[in-house]
Chains A and B, each alone.
Chain A
C-alpha cells in the first residue's frame, strides 16, 4: 500500500514528439527524447523552453537511447535504430551523428555505456549476439558474446568493469568480457520474459530483475539457484531500478486493463507494500531515469517520460528517501494519519507547461487512494491458494470482505469475513456465520474463537491471514465430522467404491507453490509411449480443453508459469497497437476465468465454461468438487456448468502398432526349429513367412534351405575341397542377409537365421566353441565385427586365395586392414608367434582353421548372434511363447547363468565336514545314507527340511504313503513340517 502520493514537480508536454525513448545525461542538464522524426533536446534546468531538435531520417523508431556516463564524453549519446547504433554528439545547441556502429543482423534490444571506460558501449540484439564496442573503432565490435538466445536487456556491472548481465527470455546470464566464449553464470531467474534488469549501485554481486511473471526478484549471482528476495506484484513488471539513495527501488508495471500508470517506490527492506507512488501520468510510463544530484542538494529528481507525451520531473526529498531505509516503515505508519491530507494537496509546480485540471488529478488521486488499501487485499486474494475440497471462497475486494462456504457431510457453513481498513497491519478481520449455516451454535463459538486466534497471530506480524483461517476452519470441521458424522462422510466413499475417501490421506497444503517451482518442468499433458511388444499407449487432453495461451506462444517450460498465465501476456509494446476494444475482449475471454484454480488444468480452458461476467468478484473453487453441490448452482450465476462436471482427464488409448514392427507374433508362434531336419524346418518357416505376407523372409528361408542342403555339407578333410562357406553364396551371402535385417531391426529373422545355421553346423569341438580351450580365448583379438558394415573380418589375405575374385574390392581391402589382428592370417608375424606357441603341429592348425572355414556363420561374430537370440527370446517371452523362447536360446553359445537359488549342502555322514554333492571332498566317502535302506544315496533323493532325514526318493515315497512320521524315528512329522 502506498501511503503517500506525490504529484510531479514539473510537467512538460511535447505534443508531437512521439518519442519512444528518453535519456538524461550525466551532468543532469539535458534529456534527450527520441521520436521517429526528431530527437528533442530538453534543457532540464528550463524544460519549458522551446526545445532543440535533431532531425533524423529513418523508418525505424529509436529503440534505446543513452547518454555517455562520463563527464569527459558527456556530449555523446547513443541511439539504437533497428540493427544500427548511431552515436550523436551534442555541442553548442547542435547535434549530429558522428559514428554509426553496424554489426547486428537483427533489431537491437538494448545498449549500455560502460561505467568505467568512456569509449565502451555494449549492445544486445535479437540476433543472439552481444557486442562490446570501442567507439574509437566503429568498424567492428571488440568483443562478441554469443548467447544462443536473443537478449532483451544488457547492463554493465557498476562496480566491476569486466562484468555485465544480459537477460534472455526468463534467464539471466552474467558475462565477463575477458571470457567471451561462455557466460560466467547462468540463472533461470523467471518463468516468463524478463523486461528489466538492474545492477545494485553499490554491491557488485546483486541485481534485480523484473518480469512478465508478476515479480521482481533480487539475486546474488554467486547463488544463481535461489533468489535473495522477491517482490510479488499482481501484474507483470516492466522495469525495476534501484534508486541512487540506499534501499530504494522504483517499479513500473506493464499496464493492465485497469490503468496503473503510477511509478511505485519500494523499500528493498520491506517488500510488502510500496512506500510511495508517483501519480500523474495518464498513459504508460515508457522510461524513467534519475537525474544526477546537484552539488549541495539533498533532493533527488526522477525524470519520467510517458506515452501521454509528457515529461515529468519528480522531487524525492530526504524524508521520502528515509522511508526506504530501515526505520521507514514505522515512520510511514506514524505519518499515515497525519500526512494523508497533506499529500493530497496539489503543489503548483513552477514553470510547468501544462497543468491538467486540478479536479482530474484529485480524482486520480482519489482512485488511487481508494484502491490503495484493497491493493494488498486484492493481492492477497489473487495469490491465496484455496484449492480445498468442498470449500468455496468468494472474494470481494471492493467491499473488503469475502464469503467462505463449505459443506461437510450434512453440514453447511457460511462464513462472512470482513477486513478492516488497516488490515493486515495489526487489524484482524471479523468472522460471522450467516444462514444457511447448519452447525450447532456451540461449535460456531468454538470455531469463531479459533479463527480469531489464528488471524490475530498473523496480523500482529502484519501478515495476511485469510488462507490460514480457511484452512483452520476446514480442519476444525473435518475433525468434527469424523467424530460425530461418520455416515455422512460415508457418502463420499460411496462415490468411488473402489477407493477410500481422499480425506483419509494427508492433504497438501500447497498444491503448487508457484514461485518456488521455477525449476520444475511444466507437466506433460499428453504423451505417447510404446509398451509391451506391439502397443502404443497414448493419452491426451480432453477434446474440450484448449490451451488458454494463443497457439503461437510456446508451451511454458516450467510449472510456475501457471501463475504467470493468470494475468495475461501483454507488454506495453504490444498494447500500443492494440485498440481498447480488443483489450477488453481479451481480458474477458474464458482464458482468464478460472484464474484461481491452481492446477495444471488452469493452463487450459474448458469449452463449456461460459465467460465470466466482468465483475470484480474473485472466486475460488475446486473444479472437480464432488459431489457437485446444489449451492453452486445458485451461487454461480445460475449456469448449469457447475453441476455438469468437466472432464479434466482425457482417455488413454491403446493402439496396436505391431504392423509397424519388423517382428510378428504369428511368426513367433509358427516358426519351428527342428535340429534333426533342417531342410524341413526351413520349408515350414518359409511357408509361415508367406502366410503373414513376408515374401522377403520366405525367400530367405528358401535360400537357407538351399544353403543347408546335405550336398553342400562340408567334408571333414581340409584337403578335399573348399567348403561351401567359402563360396560367395556361402558365408558372404548370409552376412549380407544378416546385414540387411539388422538395418531394418528385424531381430526375429536375425535370430532364426542364426539359430538355423548354428544348428546346421554345430561347433566341431562340441559345446561351447572356445570354452574348452582357455589358451585360445586369450589370443582371440577384438574383431571388427560390427553390423551394419561390409567388413567380413574372416576374409583374410591368407585364406582367401581361392575366393578372392568373388569378393568385392572394398571387402578385400578391409579384410587386409584387419589382417594383423587375425590369428588365422598367415602374413602376420604375430600369428606366427602365437601359432607356433599354440599349435606345434601345423596340421592341427590347419584342421582348426578348416573347422572355422566350413561354418556358414562367421565364428568371430558368435557373441553378436547370441545377442540376437537373447533379444528375440525376450520378445518371445513378452508374447508368452516360453517354449519357443527356450527353443531359440538352446542355440546360444553362451551357457545360461548358473543356478543362483537356494542350494542344499550336506554334512558328510562319516567325517561331518561340509560337502556339496554326493561325495565328500575330505574323506572321499559318499556323503549320505538313505534313512530306510542305509545305503549311500547317489541318485534322486528327498529330505525333510525340518529334521534333515531322508533318502532315496522311491523309498521315501513308499514310506510316506503309509506313514507321516520320519522313518529315522526322530519323531518329526515330516509331512506336516515340510511344506515342499
Chain B
C-alpha cells in the first residue's frame, strides 16, 4: 500500500523548486526561491534541519546528491548563474566548489554514475552545458559544450554506466570500458544525447518529437538489460519515452506516453526503471491510459502522475 511516511514542513520563505533525498533515503534536500538550500534528516519519520545553506543570490532551481562513496556532497544550481557544490565535513556543511562559468540561469544539475568519479553536468539558459570533474586536491576540471541547445538548456540527465554495444564479450578481470553519456533537453524543442570520445564531448543523437521547449529529460536506470530508455517531457504537455535496442545506440524510437493539458516539467524514474513519475503545472491529473502504460497512482493531489509499465 502506498503510504505517506513523512511530511516535512520546510519553512522555506518562498516556493520550493526541488526536493530530493540522498542515496540511502535518510536525508532530504530542498531548494527554494528564497535563495536557500535546506537539508533535513528525515529518518524514522522525523524532520531535523541539518543545514540551511546560503550562498546563492537568486532562486535555487535544483539540487543533486552525489554518490555517498565521495562523501556527503550536494550540488545546487540557481538563477544567479552559479553552481555550488556543498560538502559535509565533520558535521558541518560548507561550500566545496563554486562554479560561475555560465552567463545565465543554471537550470539543471546532475551527477554522473559513480563509476566515472565525481562528475557533474550543468545545463544553463545560456545554451551551454558544463561538465565539472573533480580531479582531487580541490581541483575541478571544467569542460563546456557551448551552444548545446539554442536559446537554452533546461535539463540534463546521465545515462547509466554500461558498456557500449553492451554484452559483447570482453576480457574479464579488466575494468569495463564504460562510455560517458548523458541526455539533455532544451528550448530548441530537442532532446540531445552526448557522448565522450577521446576526452571530448560530442553530440551523439538528436531526438525530435516535441513541439515546444523540452522541460525535463530522464535516463532510466539500467538493471542490466541492453535496452536504453529515456523519458522526456515538454511545455507542449507531451511525455515521450525513447528506447534504443541497438547496441551502437543509434536508433531511438519515440513513443508518446501521454499528452497532458498543461506543461509537464518533471519526469523521474524509479530505481528499477519500470515506474515513471510525471509532474507538471496542470492541476488536473488525466487518468486515461495510453498504450502500454497507464497512470497507476495519483500520487499527489495536484500535480503528479505515476506510470507503471
Interface residues of A (CB under 8 A from B): 148-149, 186, 188, 225, 496, 498-500, 502, 505-508, 511-512, 517, 519-541, 547, 551, 554-555, 557, 559, 599-601, 624, 626, 648-657, 659-663, 742, 744-747, 750, 768-771, 774, 777, 780, 782-783, 785-788, 860-861, 863-868, 870-871, 875, 878, 880, 893-895, 897
Whole-angstrom distance between the alpha carbons of A47 and B258 in the complex?
58
B169 and A657 contacting across the interface, CB-CB below 8 Å: no
Whole-angstrom distance between the alpha carbons of A530 and B306 in the complex?
10
Chain A residues lying within 8 Å of B211, measured Cβ to Cβ, are 148-149
Instruction: Give the secondary structure class of A's interface.
Output: loop
For B303, the closest partner residue in chain A by CB is: A526
A897 and B279 contacting across the interface, CB-CB below 8 Å: no
B262 and A554 contacting across the interface, CB-CB below 8 Å: yes
Cβ contacts A to B, 21 pairs, < 8 Å: A505-B54, A519-B125, A521-B152, A527-B266, A531-B22, A532-B271, A534-B271, A554-B262, A557-B212, A600-B15, A648-B33, A650-B16, A653-B300, A654-B7, A655-B2, A742-B225, A745-B273, A783-B167, A864-B224, A867-B224, A893-B172
B154 and A537 contacting across the interface, CB-CB below 8 Å: no
Chain A residues lying within 8 Å of B10, measured Cβ to Cβ, are 649, 651-652
For B213, the closest partner residue in chain A by CB is: A557
Q: Does B87 contact A (CB under 8 A)?
A: no
Whole-angstrom distance between the alpha carbons of A647 and B142 in the complex?
39
For B21, the closest partner residue in chain A by CB is: A531
Q: Measured between C-beta atoms, what is the minimum distance from B283 to chain A in Å?
A: 7
Tell which of A148, A186, A511, A894 touches B58, judged by Cβ atoms closer than 8 Å. A511
A526 and B172 contacting across the interface, CB-CB below 8 Å: no
Tell me which of B165, B175, B262, B272 has the highest count of chain A C-beta atoms within 10 A of its own C-beta.
Answer: B272
Chain B residues lying within 8 Å of A861, measured Cβ to Cβ, are 167
Closest 8 pairs between A and B when the two form their complex, measured CB to CB: A532-B25, A867-B224, A555-B281, A531-B21, A649-B12, A745-B274, A528-B304, A526-B303
Tell which of A661, A777, A868 touches B270, judged by Cβ atoms closer than 8 Å. A661
B302 and A541 contacting across the interface, CB-CB below 8 Å: yes
Chain A residues lying within 8 Å of B33, measured Cβ to Cβ, are 523, 599-601, 648
Q: Measured between C-beta atoms, what is the minimum distance from A705 to chain B in Å?
A: 24
With known contacts A527-B19, A657-B297, A624–B4 Cβ distance under 8 A: no
Q: Does B173 contact A (CB under 8 A)?
A: yes
A523 and B271 contacting across the interface, CB-CB below 8 Å: no
For B124, the closest partner residue in chain A by CB is: A520
Chain A residues lying within 8 Å of B212, measured Cβ to Cβ, are 557
Chain A residues lying within 8 Å of B308, measured Cβ to Cβ, are 660
Whole-angstrom distance between the alpha carbons of A172 and B111 in the complex?
36
Given contacts A523-B33, A657-B2, 18 further A-B contacts (CB under 8 A): A521-B107, A523-B59, A527-B18, A529-B20, A529-B266, A530-B277, A535-B25, A537-B19, A554-B263, A649-B34, A654-B6, A655-B2, A660-B296, A768-B172, A771-B172, A786-B225, A867-B225, A871-B222
Chain B residues lying within 8 Å of A661, measured Cβ to Cβ, are 270-272, 274-275
Q: Measured between C-beta atoms, what is the minimum distance from A574 to chain B in Å?
A: 21
Whole-angstrom distance between the alpha carbons of A107 and B11 in the complex?
50
Instruction: Give the secondary structure class of B's interface.
Output: loop
Contact residues on B (Cβ < 8 Å of other chain), bracket: 35 or more
Chain B residues lying within 8 Å of A774, measured Cβ to Cβ, are 171
A653 and B7 contacting across the interface, CB-CB below 8 Å: yes
Tell which of A519, A650, A780 touches B187, judged by Cβ atoms closer than 8 Å. A519
B20 and A524 contacting across the interface, CB-CB below 8 Å: no
Whole-angstrom distance between the alpha carbons of A148 and B1 in the complex?
43
For A649, the closest partner residue in chain B by CB is: B12
Q: Measured between C-beta atoms, what is the minimum distance from A56 to chain B in Å?
A: 36
A533 and B52 contacting across the interface, CB-CB below 8 Å: no
A520 and B269 contacting across the interface, CB-CB below 8 Å: no
Chain A residues lying within 8 Å of B280, measured Cβ to Cβ, are 526, 555
A745 and B272 contacting across the interface, CB-CB below 8 Å: yes
Tell which of A557, A652, A771, A786 touches B171, judged by Cβ atoms closer than 8 Å. A771
Interface residues of B (CB under 8 A from A): 1-26, 28, 30, 32-36, 42, 49, 52, 54-55, 57-59, 61, 79-80, 104-105, 107, 125, 150-152, 154, 162, 165-173, 175-176, 187-188, 211-213, 215, 221-227, 235, 237, 245, 247, 261-263, 265-266, 268-275, 277-283, 296-297, 299-304, 306, 308
Whole-angstrom distance between the alpha carbons of A324 and B162 in the complex?
65
For A657, the closest partner residue in chain B by CB is: B2
Q: Measured between C-beta atoms, what is the minimum distance from B53 to chain A in Å?
A: 9
Chain A residues lying within 8 Å of B15, measured Cβ to Cβ, are 523, 525, 541, 599-601, 648-650
With known contacts A532-B23, A601-B15, A655-B2, A787–B296 Cβ distance under 8 A: no
Whole-angstrom distance between the alpha carbons of A531 and B271 in the complex?
8
B271 and A530 contacting across the interface, CB-CB below 8 Å: yes
Q: Measured between C-beta atoms, what is the minimum distance from A507 to chain B in Å?
A: 8
For B62, the closest partner residue in chain A by CB is: A524
A524 and B266 contacting across the interface, CB-CB below 8 Å: yes
Chain A residues lying within 8 Å of B265, measured Cβ to Cβ, are 521-522, 524, 527
Chain A residues lying within 8 Å of B301, measured Cβ to Cβ, are 540
For A656, the closest partner residue in chain B by CB is: B5
Whole-angstrom distance between the alpha carbons of A541 and B25 in the complex?
23
A521 and B8 contacting across the interface, CB-CB below 8 Å: no
With known contacts A530-B270, A537-B19, A599–B14 Cβ distance under 8 A: yes
B173 and A894 contacting across the interface, CB-CB below 8 Å: yes
B281 and A777 contacting across the interface, CB-CB below 8 Å: no
Whole-angstrom distance between the alpha carbons of A547 and B15 in the complex?
13
With known contacts A537-B28, A540-B302, A499–B3 Cβ distance under 8 A: no
Tell which of B30, B213, B268 touches A521, judged by Cβ atoms closer than 8 Å. B213
Chain B residues lying within 8 Å of A742, measured Cβ to Cβ, are 223, 225
Q: Measured between C-beta atoms, what is the minimum distance from A599 to chain B in Å?
A: 6
With known contacts A508-B58, A786-B226, A894-B176, A521–B272 Cβ distance under 8 A: no
Q: Measured between C-beta atoms, what is the minimum distance from B289 to chain A in Å?
A: 16
Chain A residues lying within 8 Å of B245, measured Cβ to Cβ, are 786
Q: Measured between C-beta atoms, what is the minimum distance from B123 to chain A in Å?
A: 10
Tell which of B23, B52, B58, B281 touches A498, judged by Cβ atoms closer than 8 Å. B52
Tell which of B52, B223, B279, B296 touches A526, judged by Cβ atoms closer than 8 Å. B279
Whole-angstrom distance between the alpha carbons of A783 and B167 in the complex?
8
Whole-angstrom distance between the alpha carbons of A895 and B172 in the complex?
7
Tell which of B19, B54, B107, B247 touches A520, judged by Cβ atoms closer than 8 Å. B107
A655 and B213 contacting across the interface, CB-CB below 8 Å: no
Whole-angstrom distance between the alpha carbons of A535 and B4 in the complex?
9
Q: Measured between C-beta atoms, what is the minimum distance from A514 to chain B in Å?
A: 12
For A533, the closest partner residue in chain B by CB is: B271
Whole-angstrom distance between the alpha carbons of A149 and B55 in the complex?
41
Whole-angstrom distance between the alpha carbons of A786 and B125 in the complex?
39
Chain B residues lying within 8 Å of A532, measured Cβ to Cβ, are 21-26, 271
Chain B residues lying within 8 Å of A744, measured Cβ to Cβ, are 274
Whole-angstrom distance between the alpha carbons of A149 and B165 in the complex?
38
Whole-angstrom distance between the alpha carbons of A529 and B297 in the complex?
14
Whole-angstrom distance between the alpha carbons of A750 and B222 in the complex?
13
Chain B residues lying within 8 Å of A867, measured Cβ to Cβ, are 162, 222-225
B277 and A529 contacting across the interface, CB-CB below 8 Å: yes
B14 and A601 contacting across the interface, CB-CB below 8 Å: yes
With known contacts A649-B14, A656-B3, A868–B151 Cβ distance under 8 A: no
Q: Measured between C-beta atoms, what is the minimum distance from A885 to chain B in Å?
A: 13
Chain B residues lying within 8 Å of A534, measured Cβ to Cβ, are 25, 271
A660 and B54 contacting across the interface, CB-CB below 8 Å: no
A539 and B2 contacting across the interface, CB-CB below 8 Å: no
A526 and B302 contacting across the interface, CB-CB below 8 Å: yes
For A770, the closest partner residue in chain B by CB is: B172
Tell which of B42, B261, B277, B306 touches A654, judged by Cβ atoms closer than 8 Å. B42
Chain A residues lying within 8 Å of B275, measured Cβ to Cβ, are 530, 657, 660-661
Whole-angstrom distance between the alpha carbons of A511 and B14 in the complex?
13
Whole-angstrom distance between the alpha carbons of A601 and B247 in the complex?
46
Q: Measured between C-beta atoms, what is the minimum distance from B301 to chain A in Å?
A: 7
Chain B residues lying within 8 Å of A496, measured Cβ to Cβ, are 52
Q: Measured between C-beta atoms, what is the minimum distance from A650 to chain B in Å?
A: 7
For B297, the closest partner residue in chain A by CB is: A660
B215 and A521 contacting across the interface, CB-CB below 8 Å: yes
Q: Measured between C-beta atoms, what is the minimum distance from B175 to chain A in Å?
A: 6
A897 and B223 contacting across the interface, CB-CB below 8 Å: no
